[in-house]
Structures are given as C-alpha cells and as structure tokens.
Amino acid sequence: MWIYQKKLQYPVNITCPNPRMAKALMAQYGGPDSELGAAMRYLTQRFSMPDNRVKATCNDIGTEELGHWEMIGAMIYQCLRDAPLKEMEAAGLAGYYTMHGKGVYPADPNGVPFTASYIQCTGDPIADITEDMAAEQKARATYEHLMTLTDDASLLNPLRFLREREIVHFQRFGECLEILQNL
C-alpha cells in the first residue's frame, strides 16, 4: 500500500521554456532506461525475491522511482507549457506536438513510446539485482549527460538530486546482491 504526498521529492520550478531540454528529458520519462522502466522493473521483480529485505528494497526503490518519474514529467511540462510552436518545431517536436500538444507522454526523445519490453524480470534473483545495478548506473550516466546540455540552475538542481538518488540506489542494490549471495 502506498501513501501519496502531494509534493515532488525535490522542487521543480522551470520558468523559461526549453523544448530542446524537454525532448532530452524524455529519455528519462519514456525511454528504455527511464524512471518508469525502473519503477516497473523493481516493482515486478520484488515478487520473486527470496529474502524479505531484498523484496522490501525493490518495493521501496520502485516506489521512489515513480516519484522520480513524476519529477521528470513536471520538468518536461514546465519546459513545454509556454514554449512557442516555432521553438518546439526547432527542437524537433512538431510530430510530438501534433499527437500530444504540450501534454506529457511516455516516449523517448526519438518519439518511440514506452513499452513493457523495457521491463526486465528473469525470476533469477541474482540476475535481476545485477540488472538493477546496471540500470541505476545507466540512469546516473543519462543524468550526467542531461546536465551537460544546460547551464540553467532550475534544470540542473533537480537533475543533480536525481543523479544522486541513482548512486544511492546502486549502493542499496549492491547490498541486496550481497544478501542474495549469502543465502
């Protein structure tokens, strides 16, 4: 059971339109290594974990990833909400605008929609936790790439927060791997 607090994990307050960054951020909203993919992966894998501590970690981190997905959605929306159509077209978002307006839709920066095939679950606890560690490293790298695309503090600060959480998640999954190897 979840309790939803009606606030973002870290404040997002982007006031200047930036369709180019909105498009780049879509990697973490609907791409194969997105926050949505991570949340669904961990919340799915938890069922087959043989240790309650590992199961709880998958549940906790999966839930937190949903909060990160919410933050990325807020960032995309705020980058698009006041953007002139010409700027959206210049950012390569004419097709996106045609289908979704300025709504936030789970697709990657190339327009490929999110798919359940991004969710990894083998039922093998060691394989799944190792995959989770790799997923956290890929997310960290993506956040670092996103941070090189802007000097806007209203984007950088939430991106730094998200990157740091990926590092913590990697560490927690490393602890889970140790638990599983000692069963």
Per-residue confidence (pLDDT) for residue 142, from 0 to 100: 98
Query: What is the reported pTM?
Result: 0.97
Per-residue confidence (pLDDT) for residue 3, from 0 to 100: 84
Per-residue confidence (pLDDT) for residue 5, from 0 to 100: 86
Q: How do the domains of the chain map onto residue ranges? A: 19-181
- Record the tokens describing residue 100, joined without a space: 């979704």
Angle between helices 153-181 and 125-148 (to 10 degrees): 160
| Non-local CB neighbours of 148 within 8 Å, separated by 6+ positions | none
Looking at domain 19-181, does it have CATH number 1.20.1260.10?
yes
Contact criterion met (CB below 8 Å) for 71 and 9: yes
Q: What is the C-alpha separation between 28 and 146, in angstroms, rounded?
A: 10
Can you list the residues of the chain whose pLDDT is less than 70?
A: 1
Rounded to the nearest 5 degrees, what angle is found at the Cα of 93, between the Cα atoms of 41 and 140?
A: 35
Per-residue confidence (pLDDT) for residue 1, from 0 to 100: 64
Per-residue confidence (pLDDT) for residue 4, from 0 to 100: 86
